[in-house]
Structure 1
Amino acid sequence: MKVLVTGGAGFIGSHLVKLLANGGINVRVLDSLIHGQKEGLPKAVEFIQGDIRDSDAVKHAMQDITHIVHLAALVSVTESMTDPVSTNNVNVAGTENVLFSARESGAMRFVYATSAAVYGDEPSLPKKESSPLRPLSPYAVSKVINELQSDMYNRVFGLSTIGLRFFNVYGLGQSGNHPYASVIPRWIEMLKKEKSITIYGDGSQTRDFVHVRDVAEAIYSALMSDATGVFNVASGKETSLNDLLLIIKNKYPKQFEIKNETARAGDILRSVADISESKRALSFKPTIEITNGIEELLIS
């Protein structure tokens, strides 16, 4: 078994690569390093710097690979609203490159990251894999297309594909330094700089926060499984931003200022996953409670 992880130097990818390498699995990483950090990877891991839009780089990285985990993507909803063409080029055309190369190389298994963003403003809760898809951003649309691409490669070309719909992933190693960062790393970064925390909207919007180590375990299970289709990867618990703020207040010893700004276009009001299918097919069981995950970030 030899695993290629695209985007393996990124936030989720680096946690997965460490998990695989520590388990004695032969791992190769393909990453452009636009956002990733090569320094955090285990020394035993083979690294190739390259872009998934470059078909030659992808073909080179795919040599002798049996299993692929495709994580490389532009993941910012907000940036996709202002630059949808770049999002489409990386997420759609880049994924087609990786799928085609996987098919041509005779790879056995293709695990890819999709997103809870595909559900958009579909009102029913919790979100099930069978829920209607109502994407609200170019990023979300790109993930819907990824699911269609991968399903077609499974049905038409016989490539065993499985998509994992990640909800709001958080944990150590996630950047909070840029204006489009996810809410948890952004807030933690502001606290450590003794700056104010900004809430877009009234704070009643909810998310399903899942720890990155639980996500890495889910990806590992998907690699080892023969299940196909798409599966939610989440905690199965709904947390409002106001609830998140209360957790931080209870764990953080200093006072801090809170600012409210207008809600952003493309942001989803409520989100929580039904993870019963992931439990059934992948034996997925999230283990890290958000209070413990936040405490780990605050003391890091």
Structure 2
Amino acid sequence: METDGREILITGGAGFIGSNLAEYFLGKDYKVRVLDNFSTGHRHNIEPFLKNTGFQLIEGDIRDLKTCQEAVTGVQYVLHQAALGSVPRSIKDPITTNDVNVSGFLNMLVAARDAGVKRFVYAASSSTYGDSKELPKVEEKIGKPLSPYAVTKYVNELYADIFSKTYGLHSIGLRYFNVFGRRQDPNGAYAAVIPLFVKQLINHQSPTINGTGDYSRDFTYIDNVIQMNEKALFTQNTEALNTIYNTAVGDRTTLNELVAHLKELLSVYDPKIADIKIQHGPARNGDIPHSLASIDKAKKLLGYLPSHTIRQGLQSAIQWYWKNSNQHYQNTTYLSK
């Protein structure tokens, strides 16, 4: 199949991060193919793209090798976002998590290798740092994983390294640190903390913080993640290939501080939110106490410079959440606009 070098496959492209990547690259006139089985992604996330002649949807599962082979046909670049996320979900169901995140990942590597894909950029995870207490987190120093999910994401890194050394498949792994932003789903048992808390506060419900609230995270706005994916996909620096990068801001915020930020920013729209009380529950199994990334490696080798601080990201995200909330951010699934 003849290609012009502007075809990108995004696995998990109907998800939060994947759909944002699809929107971004379509806006830059790339041809975008999305592979998704809609187990966690949503059709409304990609609905605006369906009329774009540069967009193609393949509904399928990365656990099926033939589907992966079909998806990579004619593309030179792969952004592999498909995975079964959530530490609690992996603790509840480690077998399915492993099937998707390890076997599915291996299928994609094999398909990309056989298709002669030029660059394979994949979503790694900060959970790989495990029980390491060192701060900030530096790519070359990790601890032991604390959950089945963390195990699977570390195995991804090992497989990618083997495929680069054995088969010459150029890859870059991006260790995402608590990504948030537009289109992130606030619903379901495994909803991320920021959209979940926003939904609860808009509905005048009391958010529950797991533990004392002193745990901290390097919350990272979606536009920073898009920048990292683009730089990883097209870098001409050969020294930057076949390695792992933290994808973060390089700053940390406690959960107590996060809720204070959310209440302040949402109170602009609804003053009653400022008075909502916060509850505390037990700490979750598998959670690491603190997460703070060093982004020096990404700055040096990829030229990465975060566009949004945590505060700037929250301001942008809350504007989007409120606009799409029908003023009350009801418990029904919202529509992406």
**TM-score normalised per structure 2:** 0.87
Match of 1:81 among 64, 77, 91: 91
Q: Helix, strand or coil for the counterpart of 1:218?
A: helix
**1:115: which partner in 2?**
125
Deviation digits for residues 258-277 of structure 1, max 9, x if unmatched? 11101010011011000000
Cα separation, 2, equivalents of 1:35 and 1:95: 16
Shift in Å, 1:239? 0.7
Q: Helix, strand or coil for the counterpart of 1:252?
A: helix
**1:297: which partner in 2?**
317
Shift in Å, 1:207? 0.2
Cα separation, 1, equivalents of 2:38 and 2:93: 20
Q: Which letter does structure 2 place at the counterpart of 1:246?
A: A
Residue 258 (structure 2) pairs with residue 258 (structure 1): no
Q: Helix, strand or coil for the counterpart of 1:110?
A: strand
**1:182: which partner in 2?**
192
**1:135: which partner in 2?**
145
Cα separation, 1, equivalents of 2:248 and 2:88: 22
Residue 46 (structure 2) pairs with residue 32 (structure 1): no
**1:90: which partner in 2?**
100
Deviation digits for residues 234-283 of structure 1, max 9, x if unmatched? 00001111111221232232221211101010011011000000111111
Shift in Å, 1:196? 1.0
Identity of aligned residues (%): 40
Residue 26 (structure 2) pairs with residue 21 (structure 1): yes
Q: Which moved more, 1:119-128 or 1:281-290?
A: 281-290
Q: Which moved more, 1:156-165 or 1:285-294?
A: 285-294
Residue 289 (structure 2) pairs with residue 275 (structure 1): no
**1:249: which partner in 2?**
263
Q: Which letter does structure 1 place at the counterpart of 2:168?
A: G
Residue 204 (structure 2) pairs with residue 194 (structure 1): yes
Cα separation, 2, equivalents of 1:256 and 1:134: 38
How large is the RMSD of aligned CA atoms in angstroms?
1.1
Q: Which moved more, 1:289-298 or 1:186-195?
A: 289-298
Match of 1:232 among 237, 246, 259: 246
Is the Cα contact below 8 Å between 1:188 and 1:297 reproduced in 2?
A: no
Cα separation, 2, equivalents of 1:158 and 1:7: 24
Alignment of 1:139-158 (within 5 A): 139-158=149-168
**1:7: which partner in 2?**
12
Is the Cα contact below 8 Å between 2:298 and 2:304 reproduced in 1?
A: yes
Alignment of 1:50-65 (within 5 A): 50-65=60-75
Runs of 4+ in 1 over 6 A off after TM superposition: none
Unaligned runs of at least 5 residues, structure 1: none
**TM-score normalised per structure 1:** 0.97
Q: Helix, strand or coil for the counterpart of 1:172?
A: coil
Is the Cα contact below 8 Å between 2:179 and 2:221 reproduced in 1?
A: yes
Residue 305 (structure 2) pairs with residue 288 (structure 1): no
Cα separation, 1, equivalents of 2:143 and 2:80: 22
Cα separation, 1, equivalents of 2:45 and 2:58: 14
Match of 2:224 among 207, 214, 226: 214
Cα separation, 2, equivalents of 1:287 and 1:293: 9
Q: Helix, strand or coil for the counterpart of 2:292?
A: coil
**2:270: which partner in 1?**
none
Cα separation, 1, equivalents of 2:18 and 2:116: 23
Cα separation, 1, equivalents of 2:60 and 2:124: 21
Unaligned runs of at least 5 residues, structure 2: 268-272, 323-337
Shift in Å, 1:295? 2.6
Shift in Å, 1:298? 3.0
Cα separation, 1, equivalents of 2:143 and 2:154: 8
Cα separation, 1, equivalents of 2:222 and 2:126: 15
Q: Which moved more, 1:248-257 or 1:41-50?
A: 248-257
Query: How many residue pairs align between the two structures?
Result: 300
Cα separation, 1, equivalents of 2:18 and 2:219: 18
Is the Cα contact below 8 Å between 2:175 and 2:246 reproduced in 1?
A: yes
Is the Cα contact below 8 Å between 1:165 and 1:232 reproduced in 2?
A: yes
